[in-house]
Amino acid sequence: MRTSATCSAGGRASPKTSSKPPPSPRNEHPALTTPHSFPTTALLGAGSMGQAVLAGLLRPDVTVEGGIRATTRSASRAATVPEHPSLSVYSTETDPRANQVAVTDARIVIVGVKPYMVTDLLAEIAPSLAPDAIVVSLAAGVTLDVFERALPSSVAVVRAMPNTPSLIGKGVTGLAQGKRASDEQFALVTALFELVGDVVAVPEGEIDALSSISGSGPAYFFYLVEQLTAAAVAKGFTPSQAATLVNGTFIGAAALLEHTGEDPAELRRRVTSPKGTTEQAIRVLSEGGLEKLFTEATDAAVARSKELASGS
């Protein structure tokens, strides 16, 4: 276990108070409009997505009564989890019972392991869950039904589809309420994800489509950044110059979208002078089938969610 301490190679270190907290993006999170206090929470699988969700619970303006427990498989991954006085970190490599220990008495249990690992993990934790626990799935494709069948009937389930900008409070999360989750329990989970950005409640049937847009969406953005950077380098700019040009332009354009609240089509029009240069570039992108490509790409993501649901 690691409690607000640097994890040793073996995954254990004695608790201590960190004199200098690590650089944290938490200050960037928007002001709270939702509850500041959450019950004891376990995060099983504190990887890329899990740690982004965890960032909300570690905000200085949030209290987690009874503390937060986070688990990983390897001790080296446990060492990547930020230090915090209310956070205990366990790795199954060091303690094979880490997940059972983490969920004991926890009211909220977030499952952040890969989809193919979910079934084994649920079988492992089911006997140790509190009867009134709310299990929150981050796993792509895995249905509420799979969770509800694997867990005691008193345990509520909510399916979440967040995205990685949650790490800096700019996430978008889709939430689907399981049939055993009360409105009060769903509101609590909604408040938890509002700590890291916007929340959209949808019926479960829409979660895979939502995932193909906002769950995967950050990857589409980074891919576009990579491709425009490659085009800049091909035009003779150094990689450093290309990064400045492309990152600055994309970040600036996104900020303009947010700041003005304007329709993106209108913002695009303001760049695209009639008979000018941008018009030619947009023509090539359009004739190349970008719109169709996005439809096909998101369809492929949805199809993969269905495969994951069937266990492949």
Ligand X SMILES: O=C(O)[C@@H]1CCC=N1
Asked whether position 45 contacts ligand X by CB under 6 A, the answer is no
Tell which residue, 66, 135, 71, has the closest CA to residue 105.
Answer: 66
Classify residue 169 as exposed, middle or buried by CB count within 10 Å of its CB (0-12, 13-18, 19+): buried
Asked whether position 210 contacts ligand NAI by CB under 6 A, the answer is no
Residue 11 binding: pick among ligand X, ligand NAI, none (C-beta 5-8 Å cut-off by kind): none
Site string for ligand NAI, 31-70 (x = CB under 6 A): -------------xxxxxxx--------------------
Binding region for ligand X (CB under 6 A) out of 56-64, 96-104, 173-181, 210-218: 210-218
Binding region for ligand X (CB under 6 A) out of 25-33, 197-205, 211-219, 271-279: 211-219
- Give the pair of three-digit tokens for residue 128: 């140790």
Q: How many CB atoms lie within 10 A of CB 133?
A: 25
End-to-end, the C-alpha distance of the chain in Å comes to 33
Asked whether position 215 contacts ligand X by CB under 6 A, the answer is yes
| Residue 45 assigned ligand-binding role | yes
Asked whether position 122 contacts ligand NAI by CB under 6 A, the answer is no
Asked whether position 173 contacts ligand X by CB under 6 A, the answer is no
Tell which residue, 90, 43, 34, 105, has the closest CA to residue 63.
Answer: 34
Asked whether position 2 contacts ligand NAI by CB under 6 A, the answer is no
State how far the alpha carbon of 4 is from the alpha carbons of 107, 108, 192, 213, 246, in Å. Answer: 21, 20, 21, 36, 38
Asked whether position 1 contacts ligand NAI by CB under 6 A, the answer is no
Compare residues 88 and 211 and give the one whose CB is closer to ligand X. 211
Which of 86, 91, 185, 211 lies at the binding interface for ligand X (CB under 6 A)?
211
Residues 6+ apart with CB under 8 A from 131: 152, 154, 155
Residue 197 binding: pick among ligand X, ligand NAI, none (C-beta 5-8 Å cut-off by kind): none
Task: Supply the minimum distance, in Å, between the C-beta of residue 173 and ligand X.
Answer: 11
Compare residues 140 and 188 and give the one whose CB is closer to ligand X. 140
Asked whether position 197 contacts ligand X by CB under 6 A, the answer is no
How many amino acids of this chain bind ligand X (CB under 6 A)? 4
- Give the pair of three-digit tokens for residue 31: 């002001």
Q: Running DSSP on this structure, what letter comes out for residue 138?
A: -
Tell which residue, 189, 157, 152, 185, has the closest CA to residue 173.
Answer: 189
Tell which residue, 35, 119, 107, 117, has the closest CA to residue 67.
Answer: 107
Binding residues for NADPH: 99
Q: Which residues are annotated as a binding site for NADP(+)?
A: 44-49, 72
| Footprint of ligand X (CB under 6 A) | 140, 211, 215-216
